Amino acid sequence: MKIAIYEKYLGERNLSKNTIKSYIYDVENFRNYLHEDYDLELNETKKAHILTYLVALQKNGKSSSTISRTISALKNFFNFLKNEKLIKDNPAVSIHSPKQIKKKPSILAEEEVAQLMLLPDKNTFKGIRDLALLELMYSSGIKVSELISIKVAQINLNAGMIYIEGDKERIIPLSKYAKSAIESYLTNFRSIKSTEDNEFLFINISGEPISRQGIWKILKSYKKKMNLKKELSPQTLRNSFAVHMLSHGADLGTLQELMGLSSLGAAQNYINNVEFKSLEVFKKTFPRG
């Protein structure tokens, strides 16, 4: 069953590109699970298959929010199939999202960050690309969906800035380490692999835009090299950025602006009128700024 038809349908609903990518990503992961574990197609899905998949996600350490997003994506997808008369009933319709459990976020110590940044081989395409994206993720706190969507034209190395497009448009400063790595990557390596019409900053060894799955594979390989026991994910680097900024004196308002947060949640409700000085605070407070 072609997911491309569903993707076209989502595009017609005026959803953001990142939302569509997330929906398709969740549906494709479930399709792969269904095929590998049951040798079934999506239109043969039963409620029990979805439930066992959700249990598998939970056992693999996925958060309540990730599982809730997966349920939402599958409900939407199977509702689409039902409306298209490709299935009789929506197998996900009666499945409820788990209660949101706030677990302690995975955070790297500053020493672990320094160790991570020493691992990529700066003399190879893969190494300098990995270093550039690792430094950028850690020094900006951007989401992986934002990272893979960055185009070369959004970068201003002279000013040390990147313009982030999407749901939370903003300008973020580059740390000196991220700027150096990106500059080396663009100057010496990216053009070797990239096709002329490829606008995206980060590409794979085939010259195509790097995918969300590609980023996860990169982090998984470095976690293994570090013999790291804790989680190493895009969210881990985002969490680490936030905690390290705060521990070095940044205020919550600056953090909200830099990370593109719509809300800091109940614990941050006391932040009302904050004078935003993102660039200056970044330079002074971020350990690798």
pLDDT at site 282: 58
Burial bucket for residue 161 (CB in 10 Å: 0-12, 13-18, 19+): middle
Residue 44 in this model has a pLDDT that exceeds 50: yes
Top CATH class of 3-83 equals mainly alpha
**Token pair listed for 175:** 């740390």
Q: What pLDDT, in 10s, does the model give residues 63-92?
A: 878 888 999 999 999 999 999 999 999 999
pLDDT at site 150: 96
Provide φ and ψ at 249, rounded to 5°: 105, 0
CA distances for 15 relative to 18, 55, 83, 260, angstroms: 8, 29, 19, 19
What number is the average pLDDT over the span 132-148?
95
CA distances for 213 relative to 16, 104, 115, 139, 219, angstroms: 20, 24, 23, 21, 10
Provide φ and ψ at 167, rounded to 5°: -65, -35
Whether 33 contacts 75, CB under 8 Å: no
pTM greater than the 0.75 cutoff: no
Provide φ and ψ at 71, rounded to 5°: -60, -45
Three-class SS of residue 164?
strand
pLDDT at site 104: 62
By C-alpha distance, which of 137, 138, 134, 157 is closest to 146?
137
110-244: CATH homologous superfamily? Intergrase catalytic core (1.10.443.10)
- Domain ranges, ordered by start, for the chain: 3-83, 110-244
Question: Is the pLDDT higher at 250 or at 213?
Answer: 213
Residue 266 in this model has a pLDDT that exceeds 50: no
On average, the pLDDT of the chain sits at: 85
